[in-house]
Structure 1
């Protein structure tokens, strides 16, 4: 399978923040921004794999600045690292005041996607390689983030086993 540069997976989406997308403070719902992040990251992962992809993990979603009603929000994503069937995708969201033109990074995130075949089973993806200094930085630190994700996933599975599907009052709590 041929290797591909990070830049080949770049996906960008700009949206206008309208009143139904905002909370009582007049800022974009975090969940709405997370939906934009997942959407654009999935496009980047699918563009890299050229196969269907599923979200395996969303981590390090850091909300750095509010996105206000009337602003535009631009979400950019690209594949930073691959491992067999999975891809790490870096996502950056930028808020822009349409009137003043002032822009600010409002969110950064890392997501992981798995490519799947027609039967829904994990499928190999091409390796990715960085070209710019920033891409090289992200690529070099990706294996450590992958280790942390594996540790967190193990803990999540333990929590799921501990708490199960019953509500607390059904467990005698």
Structure 2
């Protein structure tokens, strides 16, 4: 693609972020496991840092494309969220998050969730032309994750088209006004 000519390339590790949290009683749902909304907030925070590191500009969350809960996170376990940029467009970036749990008493670790989000780098006075760097995976995991970017990107474009049409039909008047 001609749009990728002369673009800077960065390795996935340059955008890598690791955040760790302890699941506290105030973080729990009625099942006594981490409330999903808390995890979503932590994921968005972690992923936003990866996007900013990669673009070195102002970024905003465009979408949370997938969040797959694989294992509950009980009280007193730790939650380690590892994120990095896994694909890029011209001004958009896909960020992958791997969420690992750890039983702090036994040391047992497990994959608790995975997530993909899309961020957009915004124009600003200091950055009037936004073109994010190309991403280069180096580890086996990064290569696997990044290899699926094109398919996920195509799916996002189809979803966006559907959502735009859907939004045109959805009523936003208050039910009490009808």
* TM-score under structure 1 length normalisation: 0.92
- What residue in structure 1 maps to residue 91 of structure 2? 85
Residue number among 4, 14, 35 corresponding to 1:29 in the alignment: 35
TM-score by length of 2: 0.90
RMSD between aligned residues: 1.7
Contact 1:44 1:77 in 2 (8 A): yes
CA deviations 1:31-58 (Å, max 9, x no partner) are 1001111000000111111111100111
Q: What is the CA deviation profile of residues 49-94 of structure 1, one whole-angstrom value per residue up to 9, with x for unaligned ones? A: 1111100111220000000111110000000111100011110101
Alignment-derived partner of residue 4 in structure 1: 10
Q: Distance in 1 between matches of 2:66 and 2:129?
A: 24
**Residue correspondences, number:** 171
Match of 2:154 among 110, 132, 147: 147
1:44 counterpart residue number? 50
Q: How does 1:1-173 map to 2 (within 5 A)?
A: 1-118=7-124, 123-168=130-175, 170=177
Superposition misfits of 4+ residues, deviation over 4 angstroms: 119-122, 168-171
- Shifted more, 48-57 versus 162-171: the winner is 162-171
